[in-house]
Amino acid sequence: MKFEIETISYLNEDGEIRDGYQKTISDDLLLQAYKIMLQTKRIDERMVTLQRQSIVTFAMPSRGEEASTVVSAAALKPQDWHFYQYREQGAIFMKGFTIQEYCDHMLLNVDDTAKGRQMSNHFGKKELNAVTVSSTLATQIPQAAGCAYAQKLRGEDAVTMCYFAEGAASEGDFHAGLNMAAVTKAPVIFYCRNNHYAISTPSKDQFAGDGIAPRGIGYGMKTYRIDAMDAFAIYDTVQEAREYCAAGNGPVLIEAMAYRIGPHSTADDPSAYRTDDEVAKWEKLCPIERVKKYLIKNNLWSEEQDLEFYNALIEEIEESIAIAKAKPKPGIDSMFNEVYSDIPWNLQEQYDFLKEFTKEESH
Amino acid sequence: MKVMNIIEAVNDALHLEMERNDKVVVFGEDVGGFGGVFRATKGLTDRFGEPRCFNTPIVEQGIIGFAMGLAMNGFKPCPEIQFADYIFPAYDQIVNEVAKSRFRSGNSFTAGMVIRTPYGGGIHGGCYHSQSPEAQFLHTPGIKVVIPSDPYEAKGLLLASLRTDDPILFLEPKRIYRASKCEVPLDDYEIPLGQAQVAREGKDLTLIGWGAQHHQNLEAAKKAEAMGIDVEVLNLRTLNPLDIDTIIASIKKTGKCVVSQEAPKTMGFAAEISALIMEKAFLHLEAPVFRCCGFDTPFANAHEHEYMPDSPRVIKAIKDTYDY
């Protein structure tokens, strides 16, 4: 598919930057983002394996989009809010969600931030301003507009980052959210991960126009299209968008072009709808490798350091999984409380019944 | 005290709460300077400024989603949906998002808001300005449903709702928006959620209703008295949480019950009340619980009069149940 709106790109697959480009991300932050990308990739691989072993019930790997999620989050500030679609574990890791917290959630144990009430990969954390994922598609888009309007009412130096993918942009809530944000001049960055597939549906069956970007222009907002396998294009654009929003200019739409190299989820089989050749072509464009090559070429990192880091990472992940496995699942009370701010009589009655029934059953 | 209609009482409550709590934000279609098509938000933009009371595009799922974002980030939104018939584009946001937010986030992100919307027939609104969709929302855990029946209740229940940290669907009986008048305190007061009102005491039969229908029920009870039937009239005020204790206490006293609602009969809230009475007071019943409701049809404008379960039909239901 040919895209007419220009795609911003600075760093190629050989780790070389375009002539005349001056990197804005600091060396430290770049290295940190690189480590989080590796962490995301490794955890994704482990979660798929754990699903095959029936230890985790569901996982949604983000291979190919590690830079898109991690580096976009790196360009934001801690006070900024995140709304996710679901494939943004990289973004919440960058925001400070720990490996242990993620494992506790994926295994739905007693320390899961969502208290075992949702499917896996529905992460979120209040203290990070990282809103808990819901399975419903595009619903977070008008919510992000409202959240950003709250930031505007308070006059804070804060913006809202709203992640979603190109398939979700077909939902009515996408249009509702962009329009609400545009007319209220809410400081929200709509970050559309165009990864070419919505489960099995290729983008040619999703839209007939020039991708998602023109819709931003249609709603009267500043719009960018970026190569989202290029960490520098992502960082510079999101940072510029953040400054623009925080200065009171209203929302921004970024169409982030990448590719979903892995399956939609552990319940998906991509071989039924695309060729290995197609995937291999994109694997060569790996967003993590590009950064690694750049770091090594510029003497910011070495193969030895890389190996050492990776081994320690594997160890930490395995340890966290073991800890998560050992924790019990949430108590039965978590099914009845927090439906409301209080427990009404009918829920109390049903909870009492269940406690009694479970007791009888175990006799 | 001042004599007000329901619109004025709602407006008074909104003024009072926006004054008291600077986190309250009001918005919806035509809600800004114009004050809403029924004028319930009149004067709020002038008094509190456009950032806190404003027009939105015509996009109900956008309005409710936007409200949820505001609520999660510490505000108290009070969005208006112009007619309850038009709430359905926002059904997903209300049912899947707003209602489940607290639960699914482990109590981290809550969506306390009051969704105000006019509902019900009797104004020649045909299919799309007449519906009573309360049951559709009562079937969703996580959202409370409140329906006032007069100006005093409208103000007291709206103030209580705006101070509750749960999403609330606040259905306003538009048929009696201006027709219902009574003395309303100018001061701050709340009517607690989850408490029904025994609007008329009686010993022969319990008549249960809410919103505009409650007035038809009161009228029917008065006429039944002339026929020698002493009817106790319950006005629910809050449908969820339901005041089951008041209902069961009344059934134990009377042994007979009619539940009357404007919405279509099948799968309506009257059916739920009827089932609860059977579960909790079966041995006290002397007759089946009778439902006097709207018909299971869309709302035909030309036959609005025949559709509405107005007092003559309620009287028939009372008589049939009493004589059972």
The pLDDT tens digits of the residues spanning A129-180 come to: 999 999 999 999 999 999 999 999 999 999 999 999 999 999 999 999 999 9
Angle between helices A303-326 and A99-106 (to 10 degrees): 40
Q: Is B29 on the interface with A (CB under 8 A)?
A: no
Report, as an integer, the average pLDDT of A330-356: 97
Distance CA A60, CA A266 (A): 6
- Answer for the pair A163, A131: CB distance below 8 angstroms, yes or no: no
In a domain, B191, yes or no: no
Same domain, residue pair B13 and B55: yes
Contact list in B for residue A183 (CB cut-off 8 A) is: 56-57
Within 13 Å of residue B241, how many CA atoms lie on the same side as its CB? 21
Q: What is the ipTM metric for this complex?
A: 0.97
What DSSP designation does A342 have? S
In a domain, B192, yes or no: no
Residue B155 distance to chain A (closest CA, Å):
22
Same domain, residue pair B177 and B240: no
Contact pairs from chain A to chain B, CB under 8 Å: 146
In a domain, B189, yes or no: no
Report, as an integer, the average pLDDT of A314-329: 98
- Specify the number of domains making up chain B: 2
Same domain, residue pair B222 and B282: yes
Contact list in A for residue B18 (CB cut-off 8 A) is: none
- Answer for the pair A256, A193: CB distance below 8 angstroms, yes or no: yes
List, for residues B127-184, the tens digit of each pLDDT value: 999 999 999 999 999 999 999 999 999 999 999 999 999 999 999 999 999 999 999 9
List, for residues B274-306, the tens digit of each pLDDT value: 999 999 999 999 999 999 999 999 999 999 999
Cβ neighbours of residue A3 closer than 8 Å, sequence gap 6 or more: A210, A211, A213, A225, A257
Within 13 Å of residue B153, how many CA atoms lie on the same side as its CB? 26
Distance CA B106, CA A116 (A): 8
Degrees, nearest 5: CA angle A51-A134-A149: 145
Alpha carbon separation from B183 to A247, A351, B4, B234 (Å, rounded): 49, 42, 6, 21
List, for residues B203-258, the tens digit of each pLDDT value: 999 999 999 999 999 999 999 999 999 999 999 999 999 999 999 999 999 999 99
Res. A215: pLDDT tops 80:
yes
First CA to last CA distance, chain A? 64
Of B184, B205, B233, the residue at which a domain comes to its end is B184
Annotate A119-156 with b (16+ C-beta within 10 A) or e (fewer).
Answer: bbbbbbbbebbbbbbbebbbbbbbbbbbbbbbbbbeee
pLDDT (0 to 100) of residue A4: 85
User: Mean of the per-residue pLDDT values for chain B?
Assistant: 98
Query: Are β-strands B181-184 and B2-5 bridged in parallel, bridged antiparallel, or unpaired?
Result: antiparallel
First CA to last CA distance, chain B? 45
Residue in B with minimal Cα distance to A340: B142
Express as a percent the part of chain A with pLDDT over 70: 99
- Answer for the pair A189, A223: CB distance below 8 angstroms, yes or no: no
List, for residues B53-87, the tens digit of each pLDDT value: 999 999 999 999 999 999 999 999 999 999 999 99
Four-residue CA torsion sign, A276, A303, A75, A25? negative
Res. B259: pLDDT tops 60:
yes
Indicate the pLDDT class of residue A78, thresholds 50, 70 and 90: very high
Contact criterion met (CB < 8 Å) for B73 and A177? no
Confirm whether B214 is a catalytic residue: no
Same domain, residue pair B316 and B234: yes
Same domain, residue pair B224 and B89: no
Report, as an integer, the average pLDDT of A273-297: 96
Indicate the pLDDT class of residue A224, thresholds 50, 70 and 90: very high
List, for residues A4-38, the tens digit of each pLDDT value: 899 999 999 999 999 999 999 999 999 999 999 99
Same domain, residue pair B25 and B79: yes
Same domain, residue pair B176 and B208: no
- Answer for the pair B238, B145: CB distance below 8 angstroms, yes or no: yes
| The two three-digit tokens of residue A46, written as one number | 């482990």
Of B137, B154, B184, the residue at which a domain comes to its end is B184
Cα Rg for chain A, rounded, in angstroms?
A: 21
The residue of A82, A113, A147 whose CB has the most chain B CBs within 10 angstroms, and thus the best one to mutate to test that interface, is A147
- Count the neighbouring beta carbons within 10 Å of the beta carbon of residue B279: 10
In a domain, B102, yes or no: yes
In a domain, B27, yes or no: yes
Same domain, residue pair B176 and B210: no
Residue in B with minimal Cα distance to A135: B96
Residue A82, H or E segment = strand A81-83
Contact list in A for residue B66 (CB cut-off 8 A) is: 142-143, 145-146, 149, 177, 180, 184
Same domain, residue pair B126 and B202: no
Same domain, residue pair B291 and B312: yes
The residue of A180, A334, A343, A345 whose CB has the most chain B CBs within 10 angstroms, and thus the best one to mutate to test that interface, is A180
Backbone angles phi, psi at A90, to 5 degrees: -60, -40
Tokens 């705006």 — which residue? B162
pLDDT (0 to 100) of residue A363: 72
pLDDT (0 to 100) of residue B20: 98
List the CATH number of the domain containing B24. Answer: 3.40.50.970
Confirm whether B60 is a catalytic residue: yes
In a domain, B190, yes or no: no
Q: Could you tell me where the DSSP H helices lie in chain A?
A: 27-52, 66-74, 89-95, 99-106, 140-154, 172-184, 213-218, 231-244, 276-283, 287-297, 303-326, 345-362
Structural domain of B229? 197-322
The active-site residue, picked from B129, B134, B214, B232, is B129
Contact criterion met (CB < 8 Å) for B77 and A124? no
SS3 letters across chain B = CEEEEHHHHHHHHHHHHHHHCCCEEEEECCCCCCCCCCCCCCCHHHHHCCCCEEECCCCHHHHHHHHHHHHHCCCEEEEECCCHHHCHHHHHHHHHHHCCHHHHCCCCCCCCEEEEEEECCCCCCHHHCCCCCHHHHHCCCCCEEECCCCHHHHHHHHHHHHCCCCEEEEEEEHHHCCCCEEEECCCCCCCCCCCCEEEECCCCEEEEECCCHHHHHHHHHHHHHHCCCCEEEEECCEEECCCHHHHHHHHHHHCCEEEEEEEECCCCHHHHHHHHHHHHHHHHCCCCCEEEEECCCCCCHHHHHHHCCCHHHHHHHHHHHHCC
Distance CA A330, CA A325 (A): 13
- Answer for the pair B245, B195: CB distance below 8 angstroms, yes or no: no
> Could you tell me which residues of chain A have a Cβ less than 8 Å from any Cβ in chain B?
81, 112-115, 117-118, 122, 124-126, 131-132, 134, 136, 139, 141-151, 153, 160, 172-173, 175-177, 179-180, 183-184, 338-341, 344-346
Report, as an integer, the average pLDDT of A92-100: 98
Res. B273: pLDDT tops 90:
yes
Report, as an integer, the average pLDDT of A269-282: 95
Alpha carbon separation from B83 to A233, B119, B127, B212, B264 (Å, rounded): 46, 6, 12, 15, 18
Same domain, residue pair B248 and B157: no
Distance CA A193, CA A62 (A): 11
The residue of A149, A159, A342, A351 whose CB has the most chain B CBs within 10 angstroms, and thus the best one to mutate to test that interface, is A149
Report, as an integer, the average pLDDT of B14-36: 98
In a domain, B125, yes or no: yes
Res. A1: pLDDT tops 90:
no
Closest CB to B106: pick one of A81, A113, A150: A113
- Answer for the pair B308, B219: CB distance below 8 angstroms, yes or no: no
Indicate the pLDDT class of residue A2, thresholds 50, 70 and 90: low
List the CATH number of the domain containing B308. Answer: 3.40.50.920
Cβ neighbours of residue A161 closer than 8 Å, sequence gap 6 or more: A72, A73, A76, A80, A81, A82, A83, A91, A144, A188, A189, A191, A238
Closest CB to A341: pick one of B68, B97, B165: B165
Distance CA B90, CA B152 (A): 29
Express as a percent the part of chain B with pLDDT over 90: 100
User: Mean of the per-residue pLDDT values for chain A?
Assistant: 96
Contact criterion met (CB < 8 Å) for A176 and B65? yes
Q: Is B56 on the interface with A (CB under 8 A)?
A: yes
Contact list in A for residue B75 (CB cut-off 8 A) is: 150, 153
pTM of the model: 0.97
pLDDT (0 to 100) of residue A13: 93
Same domain, residue pair B238 and B154: no
Of B184, B206, B233, the residue at which a domain comes to its end is B184
Contact criterion met (CB < 8 Å) for B108 and A115? no
